[in-house]
Amino acid sequence: MRDETKCLHAGYQPKNSEPRVVPIVQSTTYVYDSTDDVAAVFDDPTKSLIYSRFANPTVMAIEDKIATLEGGVGAMCTSSGQAASLMAILNICSCGDSFISVSQIYGGTFNLFAVTLKKFGIECIFVDSFASDEEIQAAFKPNTKAVFGETIANPALTVFDIERFANIAHKNGVPLIVDNTFATPILCKPFAFGADIVVHSTSKYMDGHAVQVGGVIVDSGNFNWENGKFPDFTELDESYHGLSYTKSYGKMAYILKARMQLMRDFGAYPAANSAFLLNLGLETLAIRMKQYCENACTVAKYLQKSDKIEQVIYPWLENDKSNALAKKYLKGGSGVISFIIKGGRNTAVKFMDALELASNEVHVADIRTCVLHPASETHRQLTDEQLKAAGINGGMVRFSVGLEAVEDILADLEKALSAIE
């Protein structure tokens, strides 16, 4: 099946007389005939359903669809993108471990890695996305357990060199985790370039309609957890009477461990109803992504011509710093454009307030055009140095192109640009 078809059919194929649309199983729990039956499920929770804190049939149908789109062996949905990034790391790193992340990442993820995980005793070592192989290698420590990057960084819009980072991670015996939120599996399939784990904020393009927050972790099944660095995967888990994830589950070790340990204990699992809504977004993801790319390309070229704009950052523009990487990894530039208004922070705010069609909101990748000022909103908590490292300037505007007629989006931009003088 092609992606357009997978978006509609993967994860749920009804049998004779079953509902055409994936049903919402609105139940916290599942019934068994005997105590022995329930006991057997506790010994191996992958065999059947126990409790909707960590598995539910509606959510699992959507997990299968996303795993199929990414080309992975399994997926686990989470109640937010933040929960997905948190669990993707905690499934590998414990207190006393470190991991490497590029600094061009989403502000919320940056804070999670730099501040909150530090309190858990997990150190994040930041490297620049364009650092040399030698500089990246020098960042590794004996306790380093993973490498992390974003396919298209939010909001810096640098493209992550997945294959290069995968090679360096693998040389050091650790997996590469890629946040594929902005590209979606329609524009990039990170597993094809050597990534081992993919995470998403499904709140963005996957949902697409800004109706519910969610996340997902996808496992490629390709990483060898038996290289001596990951005893948590190979040794017996005392909470499951001596089960070893790699021995019992082979290629599914990572994603089942995430569900059986972390989701069981933390419980950041989406409700069945949220998964149902996410599925409605996924059904049109492939056709929507094509239109986002087309509209954003037109807008980026328009902005490039304005003398009020210092710089337009959009990976699909020929002169963009990431264009060569974009051509290698992506099928399109996606729908988000960052640009720097001449005159800095105050002029940027004035411009934003003059927009009418584009709404000022803390969101991105909505079906409607929306706009955000990172320096005073999402990245407010960062120091000036951290802002610079994350690729953000005071005059930077993050413009998320929606699916309105592109002529209407351009007219709105024209009006707001003339308002700044």
Ligand X SMILES: *Cc1c(COP(=O)(O)O)cnc(C)c1O
Exactly one of 172, 181, 279, 295 binds ligand X (CB under 6 A); that residue is: 181
Nearer to ligand X, 203 or 274 (CB): 203
Q: What's the CA gap between 251 and 88, in Å, rounded?
A: 16
3-class secondary-structure state, position 14: coil
Nearest distance from residue 125's CB to ligand X, in Å? 19
Q: Shortest distance, CB of residue 236 to ligand X, whole angstroms?
A: 33
Q: How far is the CB of 267 from ligand X (least distance, A)?
A: 16
Instruction: Report the residue from 68, 103, 104, 109 that binds ligand X according to the rule CB under 6 A.
Output: 109
- Map residue 302 onto helix, strand or coil: helix
Q: Sheet containing 336-341: which strands, arranged edge to edge?
A: 309-313, 336-341, 396-400, 370-372, 359-360
Give the binding range for ligand X (CB under 6 A) out of 106-114, 252-260, 273-281, 392-400.
106-114
Nearer to ligand X, 87 or 260 (CB): 87
**Are 175 and 147 in contact, with CB atoms under 8 Å apart?**
yes
The residue with tokens 């055009």 is 369
Q: Tell me the closest approach of the beta carbon of residue 319 to ligand X, in angstroms.
A: 24
Instruction: For the CB of residue 231, give the shortest distance to ligand X in the complex, in Å.
Output: 29
Residues 6+ away with beta carbon under 8 Å from 183: 151, 152, 329, 330, 334
Helix (H) or strand (E) holding 279: helix 272-283
Number of residues that bind ligand X (CB under 6 A): 16
Specify the stretch interacting with ligand X by CB under 6 A; choose among 7-15, 49-57, 101-109, 259-267.
101-109
Nearest-approach distance from CB 153 to ligand X, in angstroms: 7
Contact positions with ligand X (CB under 6 A) in 145-164: 150, 154
Residue 378 near ligand X by CB under 6 A? no
- Is position 335 an interface residue for ligand X (rule: CB under 6 A)? no
When the beta carbons of 108 and 343 are compared against ligand X, the nearer one is 108
Reading the block at residue 149, the tokens are 């990057």
User: What is the widest separation between alpha-carbon atoms in the chain?
Assistant: 76
Q: Does 62 bind ligand X (CB under 6 A)?
A: no
| Identity of the residue, 203 or 393, whose beta carbon is nearer to ligand X in the bound complex | 203
89, 148, 420 from 101: Cα distances, Å: 11, 4, 38
- List all residues 6 or more positions away from 99 whose beta carbon is below 8 Å from its beta carbon: 89, 92, 93, 122, 123, 124, 125, 144, 145, 146, 147, 148, 174
CA distances 119 to 100, 114, 115, 141, 152, Å, are 17, 9, 7, 19, 28
Tell me: does residue 261 bind ligand X (CB under 6 A): no
β-bridge pairing 197-201 and 336-341: unpaired
What residue number has its CB nearest to ligand X?
Answer: 81
Alpha carbons 239 and 261: distance in angstroms, whole number: 8
Cα–Cα distance for residue pair 159/153, rounded to 1 Å: 7
Q: How far is the CB of 154 from ligand X (least distance, A)?
A: 4
Region binding ligand X by CB under 6 A among candidate stretches 57-65, 178-186, 282-290, 311-319? 178-186
Q: How far is the CB of 186 from ligand X (least distance, A)?
A: 15
- Nearer Cβ to ligand X (44/128): 128
SS3 state at 256: helix
Least distance to ligand X from the beta carbon of 286, Å?
Answer: 20
Q: Is 81 in the site for ligand X (CB under 6 A)?
A: yes
Distance CA 143, CA 230 (A): 11
**For residue 321, what are its two tokens?**
């710093």
When binding is defined by CB under 6 A, the residue of 97, 179, 219, 366 that contacts ligand X is 179
Q: Does 129 bind ligand X (CB under 6 A)?
A: no
- Pick between residue 289 and residue 309 the one whose CB is nearest to ligand X: 289
Q: How far is the CB of 72 from ligand X (least distance, A)?
A: 18
The sign of the torsion formed by the CA atoms of 180, 185, 191, 197 equals positive
Is there binding between residue 82 and ligand X (CB under 6 A)?
Answer: yes
Query: Which window, 76-84, 216-224, 269-277, 313-321, contacts ligand X (CB under 6 A)?
Result: 76-84
Whether the link from the prior residue into 155 is cis, omega within 30° of 0, is yes
Q: Does 106 bind ligand X (CB under 6 A)?
A: yes
Please state the closest distance from residue 357 (CB atom) to ligand X, in A. 22
Q: Which of 149, 215, 315, 332 binds ligand X (CB under 6 A)?
A: 215
Q: List contacts with ligand X (CB under 6 A).
A: 80-82, 106, 108-109, 150, 154, 179, 181-182, 201, 203-204, 213, 215
